[in-house]
Structure 1
Amino acid sequence: MRPDADAWLRRFAPAPTAEVRLLVLPHAGGSASFYLPVSRALAPRVEVVTAQYPGRQDRHHERPLPTIAAIADELAEVVSGLDDLPLLVFGHSMGAVVGYELAQRRAPLRLFASGRRAPSRHRSETVHLRDDRGIIAELRSLSGSRADALANPEVMQMAMPAVRADYRAIETYRHGHDVPLDCPVTVFTGDADPQVTLEEARAWRDHTTAGFDMHILPGGHFFIVEQAPQVIQVMAAAASAVARA
């Protein structure tokens, strides 16, 4: 049975005349609403659809998917119904790996990989094995969530199953593809990101035969918040090039 596209995808800004579509894939513990500003910035020339993974916000009653492969499999089915416009994919952190696995199944015209080392560059990480306090401490260290949410026990109690599941999915992920992508890959990385060295970010070039470029921006793991205008500018230029073509 094909996954329900309405359950998976959020459209925050109308773009009925768009010639290009951008699929945004959130980070571990992230939700679609985090990327609402991207939708507003790129509309109406680009239709931005943001994935809402099971287990969060309006899907909190659903069980989170256990692996990156399971998320990518479901998204591949959803994306199969989005063939009316050229598709670009953006993913940050865990979302970058989900995007890579999705591209292995259904190649977009370009993959934007943000805040994540190349899939073949493995680190041993065990955040998902920590207690709730340990996971919250990790979230604080990365500054990826609003401080008021992290300090709210009720909010965190509701969010923790999805956060833990996402960390388990990305930390147990292992690269297993011999064939590189045939779509270009654009990488964004923060110059002070503790989770990605510049060498690990550049290693994305080994995963494509169709072109690679990298943008090093000031900031830590969530540089995309402060550097959103620069990231959006690059994506807008790529979308315009696709529309012209």
Structure 2
Amino acid sequence: MSAPPEHRAGAPAPLRIGPSDPAVRVLALHHAGGSAAAFLPLLPHLPAECELVLLELPNRAARPGLSPDDFEDALRGLAAQAHPLVDRPTVVLGHSLGALFAHSVTASLPAHRQRLVHALILSASPFAPQDGIPPHRRPPAPFAHRTEAQLTEDLRLFGGSPDALFADPARLADAVRLLGLDMHLTDTYPGGPAVPVPHHLWHGLEDPTHVPGVLSRSADSAASVGAGAEVRAFPGGHFFLFSGQEPAAELGRIAAAAARATR
């Protein structure tokens, strides 16, 4: 892919925070059922010369837009937003569903922009980067594979939602609908090619998807991207990235190293 692909009208513009001519950019892609605002607690840990760019799927409460048909449809919109921004040292960070998009957006970059990616951080990724859902197993539409009851249970299992959400039927219905639309993107993930950039594979020790003593998804990912992938385990559950000081500090360190590369 040598140019930003076309995307449908209504895709939200990135939220950009920081200097207008930064030494380094961090591009962040959010989890299913969430929004770009999840990354705001990481901002104080970034160096002053860093711009944080929050890429967001449509259908968030304050940022309406057309719902993507599937993963590849959503990717076209995110890649079109991201490509022009990778014009200097860049760290690409994705959490959960966002990790799949982070890998795919990076893979879609033309070679001269891909070389500017200082680090690709895949946090709580639901797949090894090159794995995907076979075409015959991809559901034709949201909620064809996952029921509302299952999605509600997922909200409870993975955490990150306030208790008050489950006591408010209207808010819970909205949250389940958004999660279902986003999980359809996970369920239609086609996989992707190897990406020749430094990989950092992060997971939470209490994440329900991480089972101690069993080959973890992070280990699977490390094997698929080859030697040199750095695997890190942090205290916390599925949303460890937003609740702990360690991963935020590590992100700041990686961004600062990328900024130093420009001096």
Normalising by the smaller structure, the TM-score range is 0.7 to 0.9
Give secondary structure in 2 for the equivalent of 1:59: coil
| Partner residue, 1:223 | 240
Pair 1:28 & 2:32 matched: yes
Distance 1:89 1:4, change over 3 A: farther
TM-score by length of 2: 0.79
Listed one character per residue, the Cα deviations across residues 85-107 of structure 1 (whole Å, up to 9, x for unaligned) are 32211111111111111111013
Distance 1:192 1:77, change over 3 A: same
Q: 2:56 aligns with which of 52, 55, 62?
A: 52
| Partner residue, 1:110 | 119
Q: Which runs of 5 or more residues in structure 1 are unaligned?
A: none
Higher relative contact order (CA 8 A, sep 6+): 2
Q: Give the root-mean-square deviation of aligned CA atoms.
A: 2.8
Q: For structure 1, which segment, 189-198 or 91-100, has the greater mean C-alpha deviation from structure 2 after superposition? A: 189-198
Pair 1:89 & 2:92 matched: yes
TM-score by length of 1: 0.84
| Partner residue, 2:217 | 200
Distance 1:142 1:110 in 2: 27
Given that 2:95 and 2:123 are in contact with CA atoms closer than 8 Å, whether structure 1 keeps it comes out as yes
Counterpart code for 1:33: A
Distance 1:157 1:85 in 2: 42
Given that 2:59 and 2:66 are in contact with CA atoms closer than 8 Å, whether structure 1 keeps it comes out as yes
Distance 1:209 1:72 in 2: 24
Structure ranking higher in helix proportion = 1
Listed one character per residue, the Cα deviations across residues 154-187 of structure 1 (whole Å, up to 9, x for unaligned) are 3233344331111111023242x4x411111101
Q: Which runs of 5 or more residues in structure 2 are unaligned?
A: 1-5
- Report 1:1-245 matches (<5 A): 1=6, 7-11=12-16, 13-16=17-20, 18-42=22-46, 44-60=48-64, 62-106=65-109, 107=114, 108-116=117-125, 117-120=127-130, 128=143, 129-175=145-191, 177=192, 179-197=193-211, 198-208=215-225, 211-227=228-244, 229-245=245-261
Q: Percent identity?
A: 26
Given that 1:23 and 1:51 are in contact with CA atoms closer than 8 Å, whether structure 2 keeps it comes out as yes
Distance 2:132 2:107 in 1: 19
Count of aligned pairs: 240
Counterpart code for 1:50: L
Tell me by how many angstroms 1:53 deviates: 0.7
